[in-house]
Amino acid sequence: MKKQNAFFKIISAFFVVGILVSNLSISSLFALDEEVIWISTQVELETFAEEVNGGNNFKGQCIKLANDINLTADDQVDGKPISWQAIGYSNLGSNFFKKWLNNFNLNLNRNKSFEGTFDGNGYSINCNIANFDKINEKYIAGALFGCIGKNGVVKNLNISGNITSQDNSFALAGVCDDNFGLIENCKVRANIDGTVGASGICNCNYGKINDCSFNGRVTSKDFACAGIAGYNYSVIQNCTSVATIVNCVEKGLNGDNTFNNPESAGICSFNYGNVLNCTVNSHINNKNLDSNFDYDSYILNQENTSWNDGSAGGVASTNNGLIENCSVEGSLNAYKLGGIAAKNYETIKDCTVNCKMTGAIVGGIAAQNVAGDQRISHKLVFWKQGGNLSNCTVAGEINSFFLAGNIFCEDYWNDIHACVQDCTAENLSININNK
């Protein structure tokens, strides 16, 4: 029995030493107290990113900024720009696949997400990033955080600067790439210049974005371009977008005479969740359409290009969820355009629009109001009745080269299953110039 007790004491001693050694890299690199890990320098922030990407998700721990940090990743080493390695990543395939795996708490050991609390403590990270590092062979995250997990929280953080990329194969964002947790009270004041997508807060939201704001410029040459999130599968609420959003400012990326298929919006390009109590005062421009375009020029443009479904909305370009109690001001400019959403497949209610809208197919609330989205890759509920517009008001000015409607563009697509109730457009002027 004494020999057994001695043996267990030895094993216990090795176990304690193992714990101390495993935590050595954290405690020696960060200022650590009983409850908080403090970060105050760029080196510490980089080390924190390496810890998360190495498998430490910091679940149950709080990381706080102790002061402002200047994060620069554009210095030269051996003639090559230094890269920023995003904090965590979610290498789970398509957006729909990620959402499905997240709902069933499956990650197939391919996730390296941040599961703790990152409290900016009111301080700022000034990002001047021109190059992003591949965390593994397949995954690049063009943001400060690559993946915030279901238990993860990023809050009270200010981000400023310029976020661009020398690699045109991925989208950029101000705070994170994939969010499964909570982003709260974060303010981004920056210029974000992407190629295949750019968003002020995050690219794909599967969790919650609350009380956040973006102020700056978001630019992309294709796909999703938005003030808050490119794709929303959950909840965005109480957010503000004061931005210049420009998508597809050039012709096709392949050098031909075609445009790409951009979808731009003040809040989120594609909404499959809930957007609540958000405010937009932005200038959104797809394809550089302008009110001086006459009808003959418009027809010629259609004959000489393909991919003519560039869309924009004050809140969402495509809505497959709920948009409620949102307001839009500013100017909107796109081929297919809606004051709230270019294409509405479900519900828009209690929203207001007061802005200048210019395009080919324009509706004060929605250009296209249709029941049911048939894209099975995003929605499996075919029987859900959508296309509902209720208690919305429109004011301002519509200039169209083809078709326009004060609430929605009825001449473009009159769906008998769609519904419009208690919507008004009392202070709206409509000008159609197709001759």
pLDDT tens profile 42-59: 899 999 999 999 999 999
Supply 333's token pair. Answer: 């400019």
Strands 187-193 and 213-220: parallel
Kindly report the number of other CB atoms within 10 A of residue 255's CB atom.
7
* Residues 210 and 182 sit within 8 Å (Cβ to Cβ): yes
pLDDT tens, 127-159? 888 777 666 555 667 899 999 999 999 999 999
* pLDDT of residue 375 exceeding 80: no
- The confidence band for 112, taking pLDDT boundaries of 50, 70 and 90, is confident
Please state, as a whole number, how many other Cβ atoms lie within 10 Å of the Cβ of residue 22: 10
Q: How confident is the model at residue 9 (pLDDT cuts 50, 70, 90)?
A: very low
Residue 351 predicted with pLDDT over 60: yes
User: Is it the case that residue 2 has pLDDT exceeding 90?
Assistant: no
Amino acid present at 23: N
pLDDT band, very low/low/confident/very high, at 221 (cuts 50, 70, 90): confident
Half-sphere exposure at residue 425, Cβ-oriented, CA atoms within 13 angstroms = 21
Minimal CA–CA distance to 263: which of 301, 308, 225?
Answer: 225
Task: Decide if 316 contacts 373 (C-beta within 8 A).
Answer: no
* 164-212 pLDDT tens trace: 877 776 789 999 999 999 999 999 999 998 888 899 999 999 999 999 9
Using H for helix, E for strand and C for coil, what is the string for the chain? CHHHHHHHHHHHHHHHHHHHHHCHHHHHHCEECCCEEEECCHHHHHHHHHHHHCCCCCCCCEEEECCCEEEECCCEECCEECCECCECEECCCCHHHHHHHHHCCCCCCCEECECCEEECCCCEEEEEECCECECCCCCECECCEEEECCCCEEECCEEEEEECCCCCCCCEECCEEEECCEEECCEEEEEEECCCCEECCEEEECCEEECCEEEEEEEECCCEEECCEEEECCEEECCEEEEEEEECCCCCCCCCCCCCCCEEECCEEEECCEEECCEEEEEEEECCCCCCCCHHHHHHHHHHCCCCCCEEECCEEEECCEEECCEEEEEEEEEEEECCEEEECCEEECCEEEEEEEEEEEECCEEEECCCCCCCCCCCCCCCCCCEEECCEEEEEEEEEEEEECCECCCCCCCCCCEEECCEEEEEEEEECCC
d(CA 406, CA 390): 14
Q: Rounded to the nearest 5 degrees, what angle is found at the Cα of 312, between the Cα atoms of 390 and 419? A: 20
**pLDDT at res. 153:** 98
Reported as a single tens digit per residue, the pLDDT across 47-98 is 999 999 999 999 999 999 999 998 876 666 666 666 788 899 876 555 555 5
Residue at token pair 């915030």: 148
Residue pair 209/247 in contact (Cβ under 8 Å)? The answer is no
Query: How far apart are the C-alpha atoms of 275 and 327, rounded to whole Å?
Result: 11
What is the reported pTM? 0.84
Per-residue pLDDT tens digits for 245-301: 987 655 444 444 444 568 899 999 999 999 999 999 999 987 655 555 555 665 565
